[in-house]
Structure 1
Amino acid sequence: MATTRITGSAKQTVVDFLEKAGEACAAFQDKTLVNLPCRVLQLDEIWSFVGCKEKSKKTAKGKHAGDIWTWTAIDAETKLIPSWRVGDRSARTAMDFCNDLADRMNENGEVQITTDGHTAYRMAVGNAFDLGRTHYAQLIKIYGKDENGMDIVTGIKREPVFGKPDLELCSTSYVERSNLTLRMGNRRFTRLTNGFSKKVANHCHHLAIHHMNYNFCRKHSTIKTTPAVAAGMADHRWTLEEVVEMIDRHHADIMNARFEAAFDAKFTPERTAPKTYAPVAPKLPWYLQGFPNSDEKGGTSEKP
């Protein structure tokens, strides 16, 4: 609504543009973030909800997605977020997320992965990544009660899963900090407000825009440049004007492709002569058909 008041545009116009921007940002990053040189990855998932919380779905009006989780990965060295996935907290979503992440890594490089103690990660990481080049460990948090009876973390345990992980690099601090950046910089993740997503599709579009800005436009305070530049995926820090130009090019290419497809569908090839107009060899009588000196069309190869 704030954008509507500032620009004077209709609400649906703003929503339509955000949808197109999200589609373009998602497609661009899906195409660009490949063959990555990441060596130390941290994985985690952040909670939010669409429409209403899970416990309110039975009494809420209409159909809502309820609780939803955003799975993210971050490179501890370049601070790049190479992949994210929206879904539930099941093993199936973990598999989809880890398969997409593994496909984006350099085929010849080794990688160390750290996750929390969520059991879905064990099978997902083991199935998606090459066991010979992957070192995986889990950082398991030990919970207890404080003096008020609230759950608190009383300790941690670093547990190797497979490979030879360096336990000194076994941490989830960077990915948890990036989740805080996501929650603070994205109104849809802010707690106790009415800015939450009402549709899963719009939730995903906004995530694509957020990660486009994070990876390519926003200078990270630690590395003094953007994560995309640090990872070699861009040669300069992008401006928002360049992002808008990329969005326009993306949808212009889509329109051109649709026009060419429609033109090809309506194009009628040049008419050819019907078979009845083609010259036909004289047909031999039935008693000469199949004679050794006759050809396949019924003619003879030798003159009588």
Structure 2
Amino acid sequence: MNKLPLHTRKTILKCLLDGMSIRGTARIAEVSKNTVSKLLVEAGEACAAFHNEMVREVEAERVQCDEIWSFCYAKAKNVADAKAAPEDAGDVWTWTAIDADSKLCISYLIGGRDSSYARLFISDLAARLASRVQITTDGHKPYLEAIEEAFGADVDYAQLVKLFQEPKGKPQERRYSPGECCKTRKDVIEGEPDMAKVSTSFVERQNLTMRMNMRRFTRLTNAFSKKVENHALAGALHFMNYNFCRQHKSLNKWTPAMAAGLTDRIWDVEDIIKLVDERAPKPNRPKAYRKKENSN
């Protein structure tokens, strides 16, 4: 079985983690697009499995949750006219839960934005926490039922509701401008949350990090995902790098995983490659070798 040299695989993953496209990465690493996509899938699967196993019993006090929009193959409004669009084409949302102190991404989920995905996301978050926490979300209604179902009364939960107005200026000048936040409201939903610490600032900053470091999340470009599976695996690779490899100035150059007590060192891209190699099937030995071994 042919295997790419270590330095080539490191180059590919570093390019992808720095927000380069599949084609751009292929040009830099001097490999084919299929080679880049194959390594992305392998690394994403390894990172997803590692996150699922290792990010458990997290000692968090304050958790912030949010969702970020993207799309697969075509935007929802264009799917009907898209040629050979797959069943999962359209809007794709990434749910994230951030520990406000360690900046660790505790849980993430990629899919729709309805109540069924909210329940899956919050249920996974609850399973990864070690103690009672204070949760802050935006005013998205599916959170209400999902958090009640997963935590019951064993949570301090508040919503930060933002009210928006149309941006100022001529319509053609504000076509791509988001609405301006004119007012916020803090609503106590469950328990006794500390209202001074009700915020979604850290998780919203994580949304920007995702758009900067994953090319397929960039707005107003043609760098979108064509398969929702690859979209999810790119997310898994990103969160692995964010939690275990990326140093944060606000954490004295520790990684979120170090600040959360999940590891005692800064990981590197080589460590991700080791995870990939550990999951790879063992090569079959030649028949002649097996016969010789049996005869001995």
TM range (shorter): 0.7 to 0.9
Greater C-alpha radius of gyration? 1
Specify the SS of the correspondent of 1:58.
helix
Q: How far does residue 130 in structure 1 lie from its aligned partner after superposition?
A: 4.4
User: Deviations along 1:77-103, whole A, 9 cap, x unmatched?
Assistant: 000001100111100000000000100
Instruction: Write the deviation string for residues 8-42 of structure 1: whole angstroms up to 9, x where unpaired.
Output: 32221221111111000000010000011011000
Q: Distance in 2 between matches of 1:144 and 1:197?
A: 31
Is the contact made by 1:116 and 1:138 (CA closer than 8 Å) also made in structure 2? yes
Query: Secondary structure of 1:157's match?
Result: strand
Q: Is the 8 A contact 1:41 1:114 kept in 2?
A: yes
Q: What pairs up with 1:121-270 in 2 under 5 angstroms?
A: 121-132=143-154, 134-148=155-169, 151-224=179-252, 225-252=254-281, 255=282
* TM-score, normalised by the number of residues in structure 1: 0.80
Structure 1 segments, 4+ long, off by >6 Å, are: none
Aligned match of 2:109:
85
Match of residue 271 from structure 1: none
In the alignment, the residues of structure 1 paired with residue 31 and residue 211 of structure 2 have an alpha-carbon distance, to the nearest angstrom, of 27
List gaps (5 residues or longer) in structure 2: 1-22, 286-296
Structure 1 unpaired stretches of 5+: 260-304
Residue in 2 that maps onto 1:118? 140
Deviations 1:114-153 (A, max 9, x none): 0000000000011112423x10000011222344377321
Instruction: Kindly indicate whether structure 1 or structure 2 has the higher relative contact order, using CA contacts under 8 Å at least 6 residues apart.
Output: 2
Contact 1:72 1:83 in 2 (8 A): yes
Counterpart check, 1:55 vs 2:108: no
Please, what TM-score do these two structures have when normalized by structure 2? Answer: 0.82
* CA 1:114–1:4: 2 relative to 1, 3 Å: same
Query: Which residue identity is paired with 1:20?
Result: E
Q: Which amino acid aligns with 1:54?
A: A
1:74 aligns with 2:103: no
Q: 1:39 to 1:59 in 2, by over 3 A?
A: same
The alignment yields a C-alpha RMSD, in angstroms, of 1.7
**Identity %, equivalent residues:** 45
| Higher share in helix | 2
SS in 1 for 2:160: strand
Matched residue type, 1:6:
I
Q: How far has the Cα of 1:237 moved from its partner?
A: 0.4
Deviations 1:203-249, CA, capped at 9 Å, x for gaps: 01100100010000000121121000000111100011122112211
